[in-house]
Structure 1
């Protein structure tokens, strides 16, 4: 039986834009937690670190869908180059403001400017859609991207924290900014795979967020994003409280080990169960496996609990984006995907701030209460929306869906 993943990479240009896009999207994971690691070491206050990180993540979550909507109208290259350039410059100034101990307001200002960074996961998926629209290979490509997103979120966060605590506070953010600059230039340069405007991809005057499935999935992933951020902030705080701050990168890194493998296996399978039910099971698993995090008392126990809690993350991504691909018309696909990424970004913003406040107020080990509560809120959202997620069939590819 042929490997479905090797099949999708035989398409002309697929390897190039996938590799460049993987590097370009590293900041979506490295930047929020990198800001936390950088500021918590430089200023010694988790609330400030969480607040600045939340400013960036929340602003990016709100701006990115608007950028993607413009991309759907005028194309990727015309939008990605200027917006990414502004983001790279702003990140560089944020790093400089910490290093030179500039006033606190400059931290918020530069973080806000950096938030103009486009959603590269959405741009990559749009290119896959242009290659494999209405073909079964598209499902495999989306599964690969979901697993890659999960790896970026967990491994990227681990790398960012690891560099900051082992080298110097700004190291993680410097690596994140370099990845954005190099990866985005390589991605934009590959014009041959850029989705073209034309009769097959009409311009829609509506917004993907008006669709009820997009609203439900985006809200659910807000809570999933909170789990990500809480796990990262709490891992940094707990390892520091146990006298082993250098273990934070390793602890966060094991998040990816099981989930990445499980995600690739799920993506290669043809599961007969409807996607909306798969999503409910995946998020239910995420919620239940967050509970043991409340009881960890050592680094090995923390690493094991983090590993278990991450197993269902990739399947959550795969099913969530699979539902979006089936329920949103091609003319709004980039925006629709970006709104789902926005949910994760908003969740990470609130999760970082909330977890930081809980850690500062109640101690490092209580930060995981945010993960548990967020997990069950995500499960409740998906269960309440099962009828809408599994109702009508997919919208026509060449026409926008009516508002739900």
Structure 2
């Protein structure tokens, strides 16, 4: 990344359809504001073209190149749910210490919170392919270094240093959302469907990733999960970034100088605070469920929450969103708070199937809330800082997850796992209060 020319150039993206509403600008002429389209980009044939597909998800993939970058996105995103589980199994199995394994993975999370926004800013400035590939290579080398340090009994401090190097992993979910926002910049409903699709993919990958990692580590060798995850991450990122026709163009240098940081955009700090509180819901729910179930059934039971979110995300993306985005966010957060309170009485029954059903229902408000929140981030963030804005949201979410996990563990030890199920509902009420007080209509473009 050192020595990059100040005016990066690349071939102009190919038209997304035979009758494109507006030609995609090149990197030398891209404007800061998205180009308004007289007709939605999801109708490649234009007014005289083929009829619009009824299924909104089929419409998304009518534009050439979308299937290819989605395939790369899927391959690269599965390891995101593998690395933590793989590292814990690998380190705890070799060193006999879950405390060391937890400390190493927590260090990696903290490093990611610091590094990820800067990586995203470079992606916005120089383009996805030019930054994401070397950043991914560095992260893969960190994973392989961790594997070798564990395998050969290196000192404990090397584990922290190696895992911290993985913090350069680009936010591929944010890059994918940025591509959808660019391709369908004239069709807000298509962008809504795309955000829902991406959230559903998140849930699917975080269901499959830990299961795959645990299986590989148990069936092959303890380092297998980390090794396979590194290969999948690099292969998926190479496939994703190779699709240059759908890559958003970078803004001219003069426009970048005029654009302010997403953190200085009115309404953005309040929205990030909402993401922080929302992350606390997820972190506390996970650790409390692990403590309550305390057995091999914990994984499948927790997967039901993600599965509920997956189903709700697909359903939410297929309907037209309400025009008032702030009200939509408040409704989603209120529903999340209500549904997250269900595991508390369910735990009092002592029945695992009842708890599993409550977690399935609790997850159904997650995806609509995240889709709405990410849509607001896209609206508040300057277009040439979109990756940075979405990465800041993910960073806030991760910070909330770690805080919620720590608070959940503390409450479990002092009040018991059943009582600790009150914590996700309290975090949901906090997120709702922050949104009601901080996210104002006048801040929304």
Quick check: 116-125 or 268-277, which moved more?
268-277
Quick check: 79-88 or 289-298, which moved more?
289-298
Aligned to 1:79: 131
Tell me if 1:189 matches 2:242.
yes
Aligned to 1:340: 393
- Distance in structure 2 (CA, Å) of the matches to 1:380 and 1:224: 11
- Distance in structure 1 (CA, Å) of the matches to 2:404 and 2:439: 25
| Secondary structure of residue in 1 paired with 2:372 | helix
| Secondary structure of residue in 1 paired with 2:313 | helix
- Distance in structure 2 (CA, Å) of the matches to 1:41 and 1:202: 52
Q: Among residues 374, 384, 389, which one is paired with 1:321 in the alignment?
A: 374
* Structure 2 counterparts to residues 388-403 of structure 1, below 5 A: 390-394=441-445
Structure (1/2) with the larger helix percentage: 1
Aligned to 1:258: 308
Per-residue CA distance 1:93-124 (angstroms, 9 max, x = gap) = 22343444433322221221111111111111
* Structure 1 residues 303 and 33: alpha-carbon distance in aligned structure 2, compared to 1, 3 A threshold: farther
Quick check: 4-13 or 293-302, which moved more?
293-302
Aligned to 2:438: 385
| Secondary structure of residue in 1 paired with 2:267 | helix
- Distance in structure 1 (CA, Å) of the matches to 2:145 and 2:329: 40
Aligned to 1:90: 142
Q: Is the 8 A contact 1:53 1:349 kept in 2?
A: no
* Structure 1 residues 217 and 248: alpha-carbon distance in aligned structure 2, compared to 1, 3 A threshold: same
For the pair shown, the structure with the greater C-alpha radius of gyration is 2
Aligned to 1:397: none
- Return the offset for 1:181: 1.8
5+ residue gaps, structure 2, are: 1-52
- Return the offset for 1:13: 0.4
- Distance in structure 1 (CA, Å) of the matches to 2:299 and 2:254: 43
Aligned to 2:317: 267
Per-residue CA distance 1:335-372 (angstroms, 9 max, x = gap) = 11111111122223333444455556776556645434
- Return the offset for 1:291: 2.9
Q: Which has the higher contact order (CA 8 A, sep 6+)?
A: 1
Q: Among residues 58, 61, 67, which one is paired with 1:9 in the alignment?
A: 61
* Structure 1 residues 51 and 256: alpha-carbon distance in aligned structure 2, compared to 1, 3 A threshold: same
Q: Is the 8 A contact 2:275 2:431 kept in 1?
A: yes
- Return the offset for 1:305: 2.6
Aligned to 1:56: 108
Per-residue CA distance 1:223-257 (angstroms, 9 max, x = gap) = 22233333334444444x3xx32x23312221222
Per-residue CA distance 1:239-296 (angstroms, 9 max, x = gap) = 4x3xx32x23312221222221211111121132522222222222223333343452
- Return the offset for 1:164: 5.0
Q: Is the 8 A contact 2:216 2:225 kept in 1?
A: yes
* Structure 2 counterparts to residues 78-227 of structure 1, below 5 A: 78-136=130-188, 137-161=190-214, 169-198=222-251, 202-204=255-257, 205-227=259-281
| Secondary structure of residue in 1 paired with 2:82 | helix
- Distance in structure 1 (CA, Å) of the matches to 2:353 and 2:69: 38
Aligned to 1:20: 72
- The size of the alignment, in residue pairs, is 388
* Structure 2 counterparts to residues 289-304 of structure 1, below 5 A: 289-294=339-344, 296=347, 297-304=350-357
- Distance in structure 2 (CA, Å) of the matches to 1:274 and 1:313: 19
5+ residue gaps, structure 1, are: 395-404
Q: Is the 8 A contact 2:306 2:363 kept in 1?
A: yes
The CA RMSD measured in Å over matched residues stands at: 2.9
Q: Is the 8 A contact 1:29 1:152 kept in 2?
A: yes
- Distance in structure 2 (CA, Å) of the matches to 1:363 and 1:46: 21
- Distance in structure 1 (CA, Å) of the matches to 2:247 and 2:133: 13
Q: Is the 8 A contact 2:267 2:443 kept in 1?
A: no
| Secondary structure of residue in 2 paired with 1:272 | coil
| Secondary structure of residue in 1 paired with 2:192 | helix
Q: Is the 8 A contact 2:287 2:405 kept in 1?
A: yes
- Return the offset for 1:166: 7.0
Q: Is the 8 A contact 2:203 2:307 kept in 1?
A: no
- Distance in structure 1 (CA, Å) of the matches to 2:228 and 2:70: 20
- Distance in structure 2 (CA, Å) of the matches to 1:237 and 1:201: 54
- Return the offset for 1:211: 1.8
For normalisation by structure 1, the TM-score amounts to 0.85
